[in-house]
Amino acid sequence: MTKKKNGIGIDLGGTALKIGIVDHDGKILKKISVDSNADKGPDAVIRQIINGTRQILESAKVKNYGIGIGAPGAVSLEKGVVENPPNFPGWGRVPLGEILKKEFKCDVFVENDANAAAIGEMIYGAGKNHENFIMITLGTGVGGGIIINRKIYRGETGGAGELGHVTIDSMGRQCKCGSIGCIEAYIGNNYLIERVKTQIVDRQDSQLYGMIKDDFNLLTPKLIHSAAENGDDFSQSVVIDTGTKLGYALTSIVNVLDITAIIIGGGVAGFGKLLFDSVESTLKDRVMKPFRSRIKVKPAKLKNDAGIKGASALVFYKS
């Protein structure tokens, strides 16, 4: 009997480098987290990756494995080149895939982290039974992945699925991408917190204000969520507004793609049912009539270790 293959999932973040061994069903057998050393340049990062991977392989004694890497920014698949990832100074173009292949003599797959998250949901998570779905990840940035016929849709240069940069108000808020009114400029973590800060000064009666008093640094999506759960109407309005705006952006996406299953992950997705309900009801009010009855909005299933699991899923994904 051959031992089933495992996926080594490497989640390359600007601060933390997370590495895990994941089995075919998406169960994490072992994981570590180390500093990614991004500020020390690519060689230092590569050393961290190699040492971390070697360490976890030795301690777990797995033999049959492939490696999957989820990296921020642009990735070219053939040689697994990671190109100028944001928050990795002095990086340039690094053939991370080739380097690890030589080092570990196994299959290595490198993907943009938003695409890896979508593949993770497809292989292990909420997208298991969907031929097509739209995955949106709410974090500092708002990222996306589009699955068509159980394949990632990449577009001409692998840059497709920039769902955070769909416009909801072309004369609205400046986005850091250079455009105006992108959905990210409303519901990306920092933008969202900034907006709440300006609104809450007029809502000192709210529970949320009571929780932070004047220390605006305490404001997080998590805190907003718990205040909303406790019945704070100001926090609830923030959650509903977030879901409604996300629904506006998804309306355009559904009308273009005719894909009606939507999976939402990332921190702000922790807003829970109130968020999902407002996304869904906005979509059902707004998308083209024939699509309305088919709309399904679901939370992502891979939560805390979504990065590791998504990366490991690359090993089990037939591209």
Nearer to a copy of itself, 107 or 241 (CB): 241
- Binding to a copy of itself by residue 63, rule CB under 8 A? no
Reduce the DSSP state of residue 62 to 3 states and report it. coil
With CB under 8 A as the contact rule, the residue among 94, 110, 123, 253 that binds a copy of itself is 253
CA 145 → CA 135, 153, 194, distances in Å? 5, 8, 26
- Binding to a copy of itself by residue 179, rule CB under 8 A? yes
Nearer to a copy of itself, 182 or 238 (CB): 182
Reduce the DSSP state of residue 243 to 3 states and report it. helix
Nearer to a copy of itself, 166 or 239 (CB): 166
CA 18 → CA 58, 125, 272, distances in Å? 16, 20, 26
Residue 160, token pair as written in the block: 């497709």
With CB under 8 A as the contact rule, the residue among 82, 119, 259, 263 that binds a copy of itself is 259
Least distance between a copy of itself and beta carbon 215 (Å)? 33
Task: Give the separation between CA 109 and CA 100, rounded to whole angstroms.
Answer: 10
Binding region for a copy of itself (CB under 8 A) out of 102-110, 202-210, 227-235, 283-291: 283-291
Residue 276, token pair as written in the block: 């999902």
With CB under 8 A as the contact rule, the residue among 48, 53, 242, 251 that binds a copy of itself is 251
Under rule CB under 8 A, how many of the chain's residues touch a copy of itself? 46
- Binding to a copy of itself by residue 129, rule CB under 8 A? no
CA 5 → CA 26, 67, 106, 307, 313, distances in Å? 12, 11, 11, 19, 11
Reduce the DSSP state of residue 30 to 3 states and report it. strand
Task: Give the separation between CA 2 and CA 96, rounded to whole angstroms.
Answer: 29
Tell me, what amino acid is at 265?
A: G
With CB under 8 A as the contact rule, the residue among 42, 113, 154, 208 that binds a copy of itself is 154
Least distance between a copy of itself and beta carbon 287 (Å)? 7
Residue 163, token pair as written in the block: 């769902």
Binding region for a copy of itself (CB under 8 A) out of 150-158, 188-196, 218-226, 272-280: 150-158
List contacts with a copy of itself (CB under 8 A). 74, 131-132, 144, 146, 154-163, 165-171, 177-180, 245, 248-249, 251-253, 255-260, 285-291, 294
